[in-house]
Amino acid sequence: MAGQNDKPPEQTAAWRRLAGHRRQADGLRLRDEFARDPGRAQRFSLGLERVFVDFSKNLITDETLSLLLDLADQRGLGKKIGELFSGHEVNPTERRPALHTLLRAPDGIHDTHGLSYVARQARQERDRMFGFVRKLRAGEVEGATGRPISRVVNIGIGGSDLGPRLLVEALSEFHREGIDIDFVANIDPFDIERALARSDPETTLFIAASKSFTTSETLINARRARDWLRDNGCKDPGRHFLAVSGNAAAVEDFGIDQERFFRIEDWTGGRYSIWSCIGMSAAISIGEDHFRQFLAGAHALDSHFASAGFSANIPVVLGLISIWHNNFFDIGAHAVIPYDQRLERLPAYLGQLVMESNGKSVGADGGKVGVQTSQVLWGGAGSPAQHAVFQFLHQGTRASSIDFLLPLDSNHDGKQHELLVANCLAQGEALMQGSTDAGEPYRRFDGNRPSTTILYDRLDPYTLGMLLALYEHKTFVEAAIWGINPFDQWGVELGKTLAGRIAAELAGDEAPGSHDSSTEQLMGRYRSGRA
């Protein structure tokens, strides 16, 4: 419908029809829907290569999906997807495109979109990264004393930490023996001191990962590592550093040679940067071939997202269902529960992706958003999560939608894995059906708690690439419907500014400023505690 994309989402005809449909859906009971409709599960499932998504346990009917697809059309989702892949300025507040999909594209794939020069630069930097990876894994990268590097410590925070850390842990079965990989993110000195205590100054390489190379946490930890090298007799600390950044001058000022500088472009947001040289530590861990498979898996999902019709498009369908739960059922939380210990860090990674991208109250046009935006994303690995948080999921007064992730093949003990599978499937069924125990009331719960189950053949680099890209594009779909910019994060800047001011005051470098009484009290108690 012409002009609907120019309106706030809640003023579109499709949104109003969804609101009316929601009032009619008060009596929707999932267990009844399954009982009367034997084809529900098959009809509400989609598959792509190694991934199968069953979304039949969500609070939807055929009419719901039809209305949601109308909403996608009225919000111009197809046009926005095209703009994402063709290099348009989809990040208007920073006046730049978002080209993370280009980073995982095969050679030549973007040459028809007017992006051939940018794509060529990205490939060159990727090839430089792989060249360094090959040398280090072959024992040809040496420290200042001539001993080969055998330990890598990634110093970063946010996207410069969460993505590489997730990959290294999730793909540990593909790790190169003889090379230790460690991570430091927290400005709390215990983090860097823990990593240094495990390190040999002659054989350790530090990766300073910061797009701006001004991130205070990263620079403070990197300087501590440099001082530690010098304190341990290292005459050339630069031989033990590598930088991934977009700020060549700051990297050089730090003392890192240009040959050890790997560029990340300004069109790569931090939470979308694992596909770039930010993934250096993960590439060292799993090797070039496996990292290329990781990129290829993401590209397969990109191709699906860019070309599949909306009703068969996995990120589109999941994004629209999320809108339905969040904006029409007031379900403000979403749990990600991987029944795969290797994906224990996935909820933390997705927490940044989703909440930093879509935790916005201002639209891309600068106006106030009139609807709820990002859900709170949380979670943990199953089955430990069953013994920690599932009481809330089953009987809590505030509902949370849920994603279950489950590998069909774990490459380990079949009987034990079968029990894991049984636990995962049982939780989805129980959350949907509930319990109608006629005895004690505390044994009863309503069910009707929505969940999606994502099955994958096995966890390997290709499949992990598909899964991460799926969640990226689902997040983009939500942002497109709400009319917000998922590629900036201005909300974090105020805290950074105030932290710098308070730090200077606590150190005595600046005269005490004017703060609220609570902050003044807490600063005073800190000073008293140090006295």
Asked whether residue 8 is domain-assigned, the answer is no
Rounded Cα distance between 452 and 58, Å, is 7
The DSSP annotation for 313-347 comes to -HHHHHHHHHHIIIIIS---EEEEEES-GGGTTHH
**What pLDDT is attached to residue 1?**
38
CB proximity list for 17: less than 8 A, separation 6 or greater: 67, 70
Residue 30 included in any domain = no
3-class SS string, 456-474: ECCCCHHHHHHHHHHHHHH
Total number of domains constituting the chain: 3
Report, as residue numbers or ranges, the catalytic residues: 356, 387, 496
Question: Closest Cα partner for 47 from 497, 453, 522?
Answer: 453
For residue 111, what pLDDT is reported?
59
Pairing relationship of beta strands 451-456 and 51-54 according to DSSP bridges: antiparallel
Domain match, 515 and 477 both: no
Q: Which of 290, 325, 359 is the last residue of a domain?
A: 290
Q: What is the pLDDT of residue 3?
A: 59
- Asked whether the CA dihedral 518, 522, 525, 527 is positive or negative, the reply is negative
126 falls within a domain: yes
Non-local CB neighbours of 275 within 8 Å, separated by 6+ positions = 100, 103, 104, 268, 295, 298
Which candidate, 131, 137, 125, 132, places its Cα nearest to that of 181? 137
Q: 129 and 253 share a domain?
A: yes
Q: What is the mean pLDDT of each run of 10 residues along the chain (531 residues)?
A: 72 96 92 96 97 98 98 97 95 95 83 76 94 97 97 97 98 94 98 98 98 94 98 96 96 95 94 97 98 98 98 98 98 98 97 98 94 97 94 94 95 86 96 84 89 97 98 98 96 84 88 88 88 64
β-pairing, 261-263 vs 376-379, is: unpaired
**122, 172: one domain:** yes
Start-end of H helices in 1-90: 13-24, 30-36, 40-43, 62-74, 77-86
Q: Which helix (H) or strand (E) holds 180?
A: strand 180-184
What pLDDT score does 110 carry?
A: 58
CATH of the domain at 416: 3.40.50.10490
Same domain for 216 and 330? no
460 part of a folded domain? yes
400 and 519 in a single domain? The answer is: no
User: Does 496 lie in the same domain as 472?
Assistant: no
* Same domain for 355 and 502: no
Residue 22 lies in a domain: no
Q: Is residue 334 part of a domain?
A: yes
Q: Clarify whether residues 109 and 151 are in a common domain.
A: yes
Q: Tell me, yes or no, whether 26 lies in a domain.
A: no
CA distance 98 to 83: 10
132 and 210 co-located in one domain: yes
Task: Give the per-residue pLDDT at 220.
Answer: 97
| Ranges of H-type helices in 232-336 | 248-254, 280-286, 288-307, 314-323
Domain that holds residue 450: 46-75+308-482
Q: Under a CB-based contact definition with an 8 Å cutoff, are residues 202 and 173 in contact?
A: no
pLDDT tens, position by position, 328-345: 999 999 999 999 999 999
Q: Can you give the pLDDT at residue 47?
A: 98
410 with 521, same domain? no
Q: Does residue 279 sit in the same domain as residue 239?
A: yes
Is position 432 within any domain? Answer: yes
Omega cis (within 30) before 383? yes
Give the pLDDT confidence score for residue 255 in this predicted structure: 94
Neighbouring CB atoms inside 10 A of 414's CB total 10
pLDDT number for residue 112:
55
In this structure, are 267 and 163 located in the same domain? Answer: yes
Q: CA 290, 177, 166 angle in degrees (round to 5)?
A: 50
Beta-sheet strands, E only, within 326-467: 333-338, 376-379, 401-407, 451-456
User: pTM for the whole thing?
Assistant: 0.95
